[in-house]
């Protein structure tokens, strides 16, 4: 890829060849006079639209492109390939004249279920029997209470939703600027919803454990008439005309939307168009991302719970950093229409909360099919917060808990699992090239935001490092289509492998970034649960992650609740 600055370079098409030659647009210096002398006669595009003569393809073009595709052709093979390549490039150009909105999904749809494999289909919600005692006198104690407690106080009418909503709105106004976690306060909508919740509960129409609970939405969920910016400068004034499906589901559950929370631009990192979201336990440290605002706001007691999304760690990573509890559901369990698409076969929506039970309660409300999301599945959810986990089998690899990448806190999580009565079973994963799966993520993400690359609006994004999206999107245009297809085939092998590993166990436990589990399970669609396991010497939290069977989030949460009780660190608050 060219290292020339935009001021001295122009757009042109380059080709990468791997059996099929793919045209990719990037910033590149114009062809030399020698190369122009070698070019073949120019062919017209369909409907008379002309190609750029300066972008002609030569044998030299192919020879250089082969280096990017890791292939090598002979001189004669290059000459033969040139015969129809311009027609192929013209097709690419013609396709780009037809706009593809972010909400247009590919015709191919990923399904995490393997042929012939059944999944659990029970529907059940049993809340914990804990009474939570009387309502605290302190607004701060109320603010940091888990949803499981808030819901009991609201149900018993010891607490009104309007009071709770005002507590959170005040904290969002006071602490949101410090954390840089709030994009938009939705005060008018929130107070209207809270008053309705109080009226309904007073009349005996209690909708369930989220009724009257204030929550915050990652700023990629559409909200009608309210800015949804995707964290990115090019979209900072974007205002949708309808709510995302998960927003509608939470409305139906009686939850109260108090804020749109920050996210790393286009779902990567913790840098958004107006700054960097900060870790409430260490303000000079970013909150990680991309569900940066939801994790920071939840850990800081600014909302009752929040919703985030994950493609590759965007729930796990900020929950690790901020000490929140994050549940990434099975791919397809939660409908995604009205949510910004990054990777159609990887994106998942999940709750970020203060406790594990809260995650189960929120997932219960947002679970279900979505007719506008072709990948959504109708699979019931079973969650029993009072279930005993004694005797459940949890897989682990001892190597995950050894060496410099593992810590004493990770090992404390493993010991807590033993104390909880879980049976720990040693497993190993094959030594495969799992990095291959990154090809799928990169290609889908670059496709979702092709308009930014081709229009040069990628330069408007605040984060412009080599690892940031603008550069990554440009690099990805040099991935051959064949490599994408082969990565999908490799993905099928990984799905079969991990399904076999889950055949004799109920879950896995590991440090959150152990091995390639984050990449593997995001690619196979398996759920995960990240919760605090302790605090480092600098008083920042650390988490540990459980990995579950497809559509068995109930068991995952039951195991998580047992670990949470043994570890005893979920109640510690940041001192901002």
Q: Which residues are catalytic?
A: 218, 290, 314
Residue 153: its H or E element? helix 147-155
CA dist 537 and 555 (Å) reads 32
Cis check: omega of the bond before 290, within 30 degrees of 0:
yes
CA dist 259 and 372 (Å) reads 25
* Three-class secondary structure of residue 369 per DSSP: coil
CA dist 567 and 328 (Å) reads 21
Alpha-carbon dihedral of residues 335, 337, 341, 347, nearest 10 degrees? 0
At 234, list the tokens: 């090019």
Could you give the angle at the alpha carbon of 506 between the alpha carbons of 503 and 507, nearest 5°? Answer: 105
CA dist 544 and 448 (Å) reads 31
Q: Is 538 exposed, middle or buried (0-12, 13-18, 19+ CB in 10 A)?
A: exposed
Q: Is 314 exposed, middle or buried (0-12, 13-18, 19+ CB in 10 A)?
A: buried
CA dist 346 and 334 (Å) reads 12
* Three-class secondary structure of residue 139 per DSSP: helix
- What residues have CB less than 8 Å from 335, skipping those under 6 apart? 245, 246, 368, 369, 370, 372, 373, 376
The sign of the CA dihedral 109, 113, 114, 115 is: negative
At 310, list the tokens: 């994950």
Quick one: DSSP state of residue 339? B
Find where tokens 């309904």 sit.
Answer: 200
CA dist 425 and 421 (Å) reads 13
- DSSP letters along 234-294, please? GGTT---SS--HHHHHHHHTT-EEEEEE---TTSSSSEETTEE-EETTEEEEE--SSSHHH
* Three-class secondary structure of residue 344 per DSSP: coil
Q: How far apart are the first and last CA of the chain?
A: 44
Q: Is 240 exposed, middle or buried (0-12, 13-18, 19+ CB in 10 A)?
A: middle
Cβ atoms of residues 499 and 117 within 8 Å:
yes
Quick one: DSSP state of residue 159? S
């Amino acid at each position: 890829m060219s290292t020339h600055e935009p001021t001295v370079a122009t757009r042109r098409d380059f080709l990468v060849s791997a059996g099929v030659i793919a045209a990719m647009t990037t910033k590149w210096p114009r062809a030399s006079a020698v190369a122009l002398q070698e070019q073949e006669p120019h062919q017209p595009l369909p409907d008379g639209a002309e190609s750029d003569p300066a972008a002609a393809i030569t044998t030299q073009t192919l020879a250089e492109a082969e280096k990017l595709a890791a292939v090598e052709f002979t001189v004669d093979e290059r000459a033969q390939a040139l015969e129809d390549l311009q027609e192929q490039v013209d097709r690419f150009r013609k396709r780009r004249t037809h706009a593809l909105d972010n909400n247009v999904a590919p015709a191919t749809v990923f399904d995490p279920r393997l042929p012939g494999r059944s999944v659990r289909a029970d529907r059940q919600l049993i809340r914990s029997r804990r009474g939570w005692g009387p309502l605290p006198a302190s607004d701060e104690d109320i603010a940091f209470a888990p949803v499981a407690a808030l819901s009991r106080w609201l149900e018993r009418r010891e607490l009104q939703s309007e009071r709770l909503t005002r507590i959170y709105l005040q904290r969002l106004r006071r602490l949101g600027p410090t954390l840089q976690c709030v994009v938009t306060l939705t005060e008018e909508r929130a107070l209207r919803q809270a008053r309705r919740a109080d009226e309904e509960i007073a009349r005996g129409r209690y909708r369930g454990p989220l009724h009257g609970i204030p929550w915050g939405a990652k700023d990629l969920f559409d909200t009608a008439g309210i800015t949804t910016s995707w964290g990115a400068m090019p979209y900072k004034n974007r205002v949708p005309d309808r709510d995302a499906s998960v927003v509608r589901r939470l409305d139906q559950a009686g939850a109260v939307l108090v804020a749109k929370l920050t996210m790393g631009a286009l779902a990567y990192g913790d840098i958004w168009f107006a700054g960097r979201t900060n870790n409430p336990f260490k303000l000079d440290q970013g909150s990680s991302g991309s569900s940066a605002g939801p994790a920071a706001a939840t850990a800081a007691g600014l909302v009752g719970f929040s919703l985030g999304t994950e493609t590759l760690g965007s729930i796990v990573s900020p929950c690790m950093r901020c000490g929140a509890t994050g549940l990434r559901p099975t791919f397809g369990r939660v409908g995604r229409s009205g949510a910004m698409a990054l990777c159609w076969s990887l994106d998942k929506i999940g709750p970020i909360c203060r406790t594990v039970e809260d995650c189960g309660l929120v997932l219960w409300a947002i679970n279900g099919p979505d007719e506008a999301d072709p990948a959504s599945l109708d699979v019931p959810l079973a969650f029993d917060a009072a279930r005993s986990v004694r005797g459940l089998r949890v897989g682990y690899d001892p190597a995950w808990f050894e060496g410099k990448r593992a810590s004493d806190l990770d090992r404390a999580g493993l010991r807590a699992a033993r104390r909880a009565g879980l049976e720990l079973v040693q497993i190993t994963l094959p030594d495969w090239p799992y990095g291959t799966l990154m090809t799928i993520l990169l290609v889908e993400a670059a496709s979702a935001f092709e308009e930014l690359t081709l229009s040069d609006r990628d330069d408007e994004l605040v984060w412009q490092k080599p690892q940031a999206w603008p550069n990554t999107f440009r690099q990805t245009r040099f991935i051959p289509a064949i490599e994408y297809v082969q990565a999908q085939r490799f993905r099928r092998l990984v799905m079969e492998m991990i399904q076999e590993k889950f055949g004799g166990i109920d879950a896995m436990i590991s440090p959150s970034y152990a091995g390639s589990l984050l990449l593997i399970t995001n690619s196979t669609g398996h759920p995960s649960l990240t919760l605090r396991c302790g605090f480092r010497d600098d008083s920042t939290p650390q988490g540990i992650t459980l990995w579950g069977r497809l559509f068995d989030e109930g068991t995952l949460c039951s195991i998580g609740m047992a670990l949470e009780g043994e570890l005893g660190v979920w109640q510690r608050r940041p001192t901002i």
